[in-house]
Amino acid sequence: MGGLYILDPKTWKGKTFDIHEGRYPLNTNALYNICIDNDQNVWIGTYNGGINIHKEYKSVFETYTYPDNKPGGLMSVLSVSNQKSKKYWLGTDGSGVYEFDPVSKKMIEKNAYLKINSKIIKSIYEDKDQNLWLSSFNEGLYQIDLKSLHRKHYNPDSESKLQINGWNVWSITGDNDDNIWVGLLGAGINKIDKSTGKISQFLHDPKDSSSISGNGVMNLMVDDKNNIWVGTNTEGVNILNQKSESFTRLKHETANVRSISSNDIRCLFMDSRKRIWVGTESGGLNRWLGGANFKHYTTKDGLISNAVMGVQEDAKGYIWISSFKGISRLDEKNNIIYNYNFHQNSPFNINQFNMASMTSDSTMMAFGGINGLTVFYPEKLKLNKALPVVYFTDFKIFNKEAAADKMFSNTFKLNCNIDNVESIQISYSENTFSLEFISIDYSDPNSIVYEYMMQGFDNTWLKTTSDQREVTYTNLNPGKYTFSVKASNSPGIWGPEKNLIVIVNPLFWQTWWFKMLLASILLAVAYKLLKVYSENREMSLKQTVLESNESILKLTNEKLGAHQQILTLTNEKLEMEIFNKNSDLMNQTAKIAHKNEVLIDIKRILNHISESNEVNRNKMIRNLGSLVDLELEDKKNWDKFQQYFDQINQNFRTNLLLKHPNLSQNDLLMCTITHLNISNKEMAILLNLSISGIEKSRYRLKKKLKLNVDDDLNSYLRSF
């Protein structure tokens, strides 16, 4: 009973597995049977030891959760740094400084050797002169000469040449000129010139936009141009140009989708192609594109978490990201992200990482987390490319299992195992059911993620984990649905969809034929009622129309009679007004004619005066004066005449002048008298002219009005 021996037929080299071998040994050496599945996993049957599985895609991640001299004590690694001796310096949260040997896999405490009492080592850095720089929480900065173990303590209370801004140093790095840069949480940046010992300070100045954006410095990095990149806890990224000593600020802008995704910076990294990567605690990973622009990678793109704590690059150019939920590998060329977590590789939850990561010259990567140090060789990592297939394992109605080939109820029976069924039909009274499914991935079964959707009910894909593989639907409406489910393995590769058609049959009164029958009956009844109603309505409308027509005719006759009366009264009133106006006009005309007769008498008297003797002459002259005085008072008669005429014949003079603007006042008077339609004799008396004078005046007027000889002057003037 010597366990299991695996022999490679190409090299004839073998490897032994037994109860004493490796991190995951056999639980017994008494083996009974061996089977290899389609995914190349080896299944081993044992005597009294159950089943052992040798996984083809077993993890190459190794996690060291406690120091060698303190077994059982979990160690949180806060910082990692290379040594010249190819070993690692580890800064821990509560256990001080350790040295890790990747060859022997041993972790040795170095607190006594370095003569430090600090237990919380936030940052650690070894420069090219073998000076170890380390910071402890709330204890400032230490410089230890690894050759002489001489040390210096930088803090706010030290003498001036060792005085820095604050006690909480969060990040340490060195630039191309061998200067040491120190990032302090809440106190900005200090630069230590090792050759002179001079310490320079860089603080936020709200009045200076070229100063650092905030004093909460979380991490520092030097790029290929010797610029200092600064990550802050809430104020984004800053780039310090050492020549001008001015900062360029890169902050998240809501209106700019290409700005950095978040201002809470947790790590900075420059890859082999001199590209800058920025990890944030809430916005995932960012790659700087130049200026203020970044390309984002978040959980929407496949990252396991948006809390990015560390970034490294392997020899093939893949970007590795540590986060709060595990490790991811970014394949930029193919735009694929593979995720790794460690449920099966450790009894502890080691998926949450701190801001501690590095890559050694031997291409080994190391990430520090809250439960130890995780190391691996990327080139040895095999991806589990087997597509995860989903199987249905159970179907329940009202939480009661529906077994195959058994009547569940009077209306439902599964003819075979639920995984082999393409569609099921259930009644409306059985529309609360559950489906259970599983995907088999023995390399890391707990990392399987499922997405499911009931097409016709769910609007989007819903996620669930390996711990919750049963989905329940209640009170589905009658209809046809398709339940789809798929799974992804630990690297994040999605397998094919598994589908099941679910038909919920309606109750009889919900069936289409019942609805059609009911609709036909209702239509027939409605048609009959509508017909009766239409006939009654038609008769009622005819009667209403007849009565309405009679009423309208009666009202029309009454209205016409009233209108006729109004017209009669109006005409009578108009005729009376015209009669009165004509009477006034004729009276005025008679007065004018009388005046003219008086004037004729005056002329006759004047002729007698010239023939009489002197005595009679004086008497006649006095009588003549009295007569003239009397008639002078009648001078307004012509004005009144014109006024009466205009009232009867409105706009006559205006319209006449518009058409014949060359008419004189005498012409207008002649037109006015002519418009009265009186004889030439009457006109002669009115105008104190002879009849022949009137005829000549009428002739000249017709000519001036451009009338023909045969045209009637009176008719023409009445047209105005």
Residue with the larger pLDDT of the pair 505 and 150: 150
Place of tokens 């430090």: 116
Tokens at residue 637, please?
């008669």
CATH pick for 62-380 out of 1.10.260.40, 1.10.1740.110, 2.130.10.10, 3.20.20.220? 2.130.10.10
Q: Sorting pLDDT into bands at 50, 70 and 90, what band is 573?
A: low
Round to whole Å and give the CA distance between 336 and 328. Answer: 10
Burial class (CB in 10 A: 0-12, 13-18, 19+), 521: exposed
Confidence tier at 42 by pLDDT (50, 70, 90): confident
pLDDT at 347: 42
| 3-class DSSP assignment, residue 706 | coil
d(CA 608, CA 613): 10
655-706 pLDDT, tens digit per residue, is 888 888 898 888 888 888 888 888 888 888 777 778 888 888 888 888 888 8
Averaged over 309-336, what is the pLDDT?
A: 92
Model pLDDT, residue 633: 46
Greater model confidence, 310 or 426: 310
Whether residue 446 is predicted with pLDDT greater than 80 in this model: the reply is no
b/e 347-359 (16+ beta carbons within 10 angstroms → b): eeebbbbbbbbbb
Q: Are 248 and 241 in contact (CB under 8 A)?
A: yes
Residue ranges of the domains in the chain?
Answer: 4-54, 62-380, 390-507, 511-640, 649-720
| Residue 442: pLDDT band with limits 50, 70, 90 | low
First to last CA, the chain: 143
DSSP for 648-663 reads HSTTHHHHHHHH-TT-
Chain-centroid distance, C-alpha 468 = 34
Pairing of strands 423-427, 498-505: parallel
Percent of all residues in the chain with a pLDDT value above 70, rounded to a whole number = 83
* pLDDT exceeds cutoff 90 at 107: no
Q: Looking at mean pLDDT, say which of 289-303, 330-344, 501-515 comes out highest.
A: 289-303
Specify the higher pLDDT residue, 638 or 327. Answer: 327
Full strand arrangement of the beta sheet holding 121-126? 121-126, 131-136, 141-145, 151-154
Range of weakest confidence among 207-211, 304-308, 506-510, 643-647: 506-510
> How confident is the model at residue 70, as a pLDDT?
58
Q: Using only C-alpha atoms, what is the Rg of the chain?
A: 59
Distances in whole angstroms, Cα of residue 359 to Cα of each of 116, 126, 182, 313, 331: 27, 15, 22, 8, 18
Among candidates 624, 591, 583, which has minimal Cα distance to 605?
624
Burial 56-65 (b: 16+ CB within 10 A, else e): bbbbebbbbb
Query: Pick the residue with more confidence: 69 or 207?
Result: 207
Question: Tell me, what's the pLDDT at 336?
Answer: 86
CA distance 574 to 267: 107
Q: Considering the domain delimited by 649-720, tell me its CATH architecture.
A: Orthogonal Bundle (1.10)
Q: At what angle do helices 652-659 and 637-648 cross, to 10 degrees?
A: 80
**pLDDT value of residue 406:** 76
- Determine contact, residues 252/294, Cβ cutoff 8 Å: no
Give the tokens for residue 190: 């200090």
**Model confidence at 449: pLDDT above 60:** yes
User: Which pLDDT band holds residue 643 (cuts at 50, 70, 90)?
Assistant: confident
Total-model pTM? 0.60
* pLDDT at residue 358 tops 80: yes
The pLDDT of residue 610 is above 90: no
Helix pair angle (652-659, 665-675), 10° resolution: 120
**Per-residue pLDDT, 345:** 43
Helix (H, G, I), strand (E, B) or coil at 78: strand
Q: Are 284 and 298 in contact (CB under 8 A)?
A: yes
Alpha carbons 73 and 75: distance in angstroms, whole number:
6
Predicted local confidence at residue 59, as pLDDT: 58
Q: How many residues does the chain have?
A: 720
Residue of 606, 627, 600, 587 whose CA lies nearest to 685: 600
**Cα–Cα separations (whole angstroms), residue 544 to 230, 537, 539, 541:** 93, 10, 8, 5
CATH number of 390-507: 2.60.40.10
Cβ-based neighbour number of residue 597 at 10 Å: 12
Residue 346 has pLDDT above 70, yes or no: no
Distance of alpha carbon 644 from its chain centroid, rounded?
83
295: helix, coil or strand?
strand
Q: Band the pLDDT of 348: cuts 50, 70, 90.
A: very low
Q: Please, which pLDDT band fits residue 576 given cuts at 50, 70 and 90?
A: low
The edge-to-edge listing of strands for the beta sheet with 217-222 is: 217-222, 228-232, 237-241, 246-250
Task: In whole angstroms, give the CA distance from residue 338 to residue 59.
Answer: 14
Quick one: pLDDT band at residue 289, thresholds 50, 70, 90? very high
CA gap 230, 266 in Å, rounded:
10
User: What is the overall mean pLDDT for the chain?
Assistant: 83
Number of H helices, E strands in the chain: 9, 42
**Euclidean distance between CA atoms 84 and 566, whole angstroms:** 125
Got the DSSP string for 109-141? E-HHHHT----BEEEEEE-TTSEEEEEETTS-E
